Amino acid sequence: MPVCHFIGIFAAENVENAPQRPRNGTNSRMERTLVLLKPSTVQRALIGEIISRFEKKGLRIAGMKMMQLNDQILEEHYAHLVKKPFFPSLKASMMKTPVVAMCLEGVDAIAVVRYITGYTNGRKADAGTIRGDYCMSNQQNIVHASDSPEAAIAELARFFKPEEIYDLGTLNMDRLYAVDEA
C-alpha cells in the first residue's frame, strides 16, 4: 500500500463510538486494531522480536492468540485481492504455519501501527519500520495491520471472539500519555 494512504488514514480515523474502541478512557481517539504475525515471522523465530517492537512503542496488547488460517478466512480477509495473480501464493504462504493474531490498542492505534509497519514491499520500506528492518519481500512481509477504522472493526470481529479481547483499564495509561491525551 502506498505511503500516501497512511495520510488518508490519519484524516479518516476519528469515528465516534466504534466497536473497536476500548471501553476505558473517554478520549475518542483510543482505538483497537488487528495485527497478524505472518507465517514467515513464525518460521524465522521473530515472534518475540516483533511483539517487542509494538510493546516498546507503547501499544497495549488487549488480545493475542495463535491460529491456523484456512481458505475461508483468507478469502474473506483478502477479499480485495482474490482476483490478483499473486493471490494463490499469498494464500498458501499464510497457511504455512499458524499466525499470531493480536489486538493492539492505543490513541490513534490504527494509523500508528500502519506507520511503524511500513510500506508493503520490505525492499522499499523505510529503515526503522518493521518491514524495512526485517524483510526483503513484498509477500513475506512479517505482519498484517488493519488499514482503516472500518477494516479494524471487521478484522477484529473476524479473528477474535468478544471475550478474547480484554479490558486493560487504566494500566500504564499515566506513563504512556499526558492526562489530556488519553
CA distance 120 to 179: 35
| Of positions 8, 66, 86, 172, contacts ligand TYD by CB under 6 A | 86
| Of positions 139, 150, 165, 176, contacts ligand TYD by CB under 6 A | 139
Give min distance, CB of 135 to ligand TYD, in A: 10
166 three-state secondary structure: coil
From the number of C-beta atoms within 10 Å of its C-beta (0-12, 13-18, 19+), residue 172 rates as exposed
CA distance 41 to 50: 8
Give min distance, CB of 6 to ligand TYD, in A: 10
Q: Which one of 21-29, 49-57, 139-147, 174-182 is the stretch in contact with ligand TYD (CB under 6 A)?
A: 139-147
Catalytic residue among 5, 77, 80, 144: 144
Q: Which one of 22-30, 66-74, 140-148, 159-167 is the stretch in contact with ligand TYD (CB under 6 A)?
A: 140-148
32 three-state secondary structure: strand
Catalytic: 144? Answer: yes
Give Cα separations from 24 to 106, 107, 174, 181 (angstroms): 11, 12, 13, 13
Enzyme catalytic residues? 144
Contact positions vs ligand TYD (CB under 6 A): 1, 81, 86, 90, 120, 138-139, 141, 144, 147
